[in-house]
Amino acid sequence: MSQGATWTRRDPRTELPPGTASVEFAWQGPDATPLRGDVVSVSATGVAFALEDDVVIEAGAMLTPAIVRFHGSVVRGDLSVRFTRPAASGRGIEFGCLFYPASLVDSARWMLVVEQSPDSGRDPSPQLLLRCSNCHSTVWICDAERPKHACPECRQEYDFEKPMSASGLEDLHLRARGMALELEIDLPSAVSMLLGTLTLAEVRDILDEAPPAEPLAAAPGERRQRHYDRAFQPAIDAGTLTEVQASQRGSRESYAMRLVARHRIRLDAAYDVADGRKSLLSLLRRRGASQPIVTHYRRPSNRARLLIAVAFAGVALLAGVFLVRLFDEEVNHPALGPQSQQGGSALRPATAPSPSTKISALPVDAYARVQQNEHGEVLSVEATDPGNVLVAFCKSQGPAGGLDPVDVVPTDPPSDQARLGVLRNLAGEPDYQVVVIRRDPQTRRWFLRNAGDPEAGISMFPAPERLVQTARDRL
């Protein structure tokens, strides 16, 4: 294959010497034995760590709650696994993750980790990252009293019209965190989407960018037929694009025109990106600043803020349970080494968490995708977690719908691809009903829809007596 474009990361990655930092998390839920790994590298939005034992954690898994320790500083948050590969040391597995700090204070502490600055012992000022819409670098909002902030790379200026208070930044952080987890994007990009400076399509264009993959070899005597725009043939022959990529991009002309419209690049440069000869990110990084960008952020209503605070308290409670268990392991079971702790729980199937412990108190569109017909009837719900699917389904009915989410439980017999969502029907009979929440094996997302007729409403069934009794016992 000939030499193609130079592919770069969006955020600089800092390699850390062994033993500099560690990450701890409760794999398979807060009741599991905590696992510990050595941090290999960090960036503004992610962390890579290694586990010596071959623990089975697939890409797409959520590791929550998680703690990163660096020279006495403790940063709390959640991890979303993006890739796994053999560790450079030859022992164990390296996991690359997006990192979502739990709070603004944790976000500020994470900045100290990325910059490898010593911890002064005091909580740093609230900090938040946004993604520059001009060059896609990260911009720290480190002074809530300043209405203007500039990108350190391209000097693009962002004007908040008026200074944002610490509580306003906290609201923005929590809403962006929920959006980022649901859409599986990094936190700064979600912040910029909420501020109206980036669209999801622009974010996806950069995230989906990758070096040309080696084509799969066909079996002897087999001829692989792929349908793609023949305008891509010169790029395929030159080795800068694969047939699979050409097929995914559709029409070469349309693909290039979309890049021009979204990213304000020249048409000839868009063709180079379409053909894999240039990186879209490298083109954006060469741009200078344009006119100052005025950002807009509408804070939730008082009721929504209360719900967000309740959700944040639930996350903090989970983190507290995890820390207590971790302390108990270290104090009462000192003989257990890292390897003995990592065995046993890593291969257990995950159980669905209760909806009350998720981000469900946020606006529905922050954590789920809901489709309704012209009459307001819910046709489908999709989210990364079955608990969020259930809560979004109930909330989307509106106050008049009278549906109250109760729990998400395994099917009988258990299945990795399906869960039962238990809900209480406050306006009808029977009182307790269930919906079947399924998992798409391709996207790994959970969904709820009428399998027999996608245009029909979602079917609810009477809950089994055992689930009804369990639900009533909780009241």
* CATH classification at residue 6: 2.40.10.220
Neighbouring residues of 50: CB distance < 8 A, sequence distance ≥ 6: 37, 38, 40, 87, 89, 92, 93, 94, 95
Is there a domain that residue 22 lies in? Answer: yes
pLDDT on residue 126: 67
Has residue 291 been placed in a domain? yes
Residues 16 and 112 in one domain: yes
Number of domains in the chain: 4
**What are the pLDDT digits (tens) for 39-59?**
999 999 999 999 987 678 888
Return the pLDDT at 300.
54
Sequence-ordered list of residues with C-beta below 8 angstroms from that of 21, at least 6 positions apart, any chain: 38, 39, 42, 68, 69, 70, 71, 113
62 and 191 assigned to the same domain: no
Same domain, 249 and 356: no
**Token digits for 286?**
């060469």
Q: What are the percentages of helix, strand and coil residues in the chain, rounded to 5?
A: 30, 25, 45
Same domain assignment for residues 174 and 289: yes
382 and 313 within one domain: no
Asked, for residue 144, whether it belongs to a domain, the answer is yes
* Residue 115 burial class via C-beta count within 10 angstroms: exposed 0-12, middle 13-18, buried 19 and up: exposed
Which residue range(s) make up the domain with 140? 125-209+279-299
Claim to verify: residue 161 and residue 255 sit in the same structural domain: no
Given the structure tokens 């995230």, which residue do they identify? 207
Half-sphere exposure of 471 (CA within 13 A, CB side): 22
Query: Which of the 8 DSSP states describes residue 357?
Result: G
Q: H-helix or E-strand containing 306?
A: helix 302-332
- Beta strand 46-51 with 34-42 is antiparallel
Same domain, 258 and 190: no
Residue whose token pair is 């996207």: 443
Domain boundary among 266, 299, 332: 299
Measured CA to CA in angstroms, residue 443 lies from 53, 338, 394, 408 at distances of 28, 33, 23, 20
Question: What is the number of other CB atoms lying within 10 angstroms of the CB of residue 143?
Answer: 14
Same domain, 153 and 292: yes
The rounded distance, in Å, linking the Cα atoms of 337 and 342 is 9
Q: Is residue 183 part of a domain?
A: yes
Phi, psi dihedrals of residue 65, rounded to the nearest 5°: -80, 160
| Average of per-residue pLDDT values in the chain | 77
Phi first, then psi: give them for residue 385, nearest 5 degrees.
Answer: -135, 135
287 lies in the same domain as 166: yes
Inside any domain, residue 216: no
pLDDT for res 270: 94
- Domain-embedded: residue 228: yes
For 290-346, how does the pLDDT look when each residue is reduced to its tens digit (9 = 90+)?
888 887 666 655 444 445 455 555 545 555 545 445 444 443 433 333 333 333 333
Once rounded to an integer, what is the mean pLDDT over residues 271-275? Answer: 94
Q: Assess whether 172 and 283 both reside in one domain.
A: yes
Q: Which of 30-39, 155-164, 184-193, 363-372 has the highest mean pLDDT?
A: 184-193
User: Would 174 be classed as within a structural domain?
Assistant: yes
Confidence tier at 116 by pLDDT (50, 70, 90): confident
Give residues with Cβ within 8 angstroms of 227, minimum separation 6: 247
Residue with tokens 């809403």: 175
Decide: 401 and 376 in contact? Cβ < 8 Å. no
pTM of the model: 0.61
Q: What is the CA radius of gyration of the chain?
A: 24
Query: Mind listing the pLDDT tens digit for each residue in 419-439?
Result: 999 998 887 667 888 888 988
Residues 155 and 246 in one domain: no
Average pLDDT value for residue range 71-78: 88
Kindly state whether residue 194 falls inside one of the protein's structural domains.
Answer: yes
Q: Are residues 204 and 269 in the same domain?
A: no
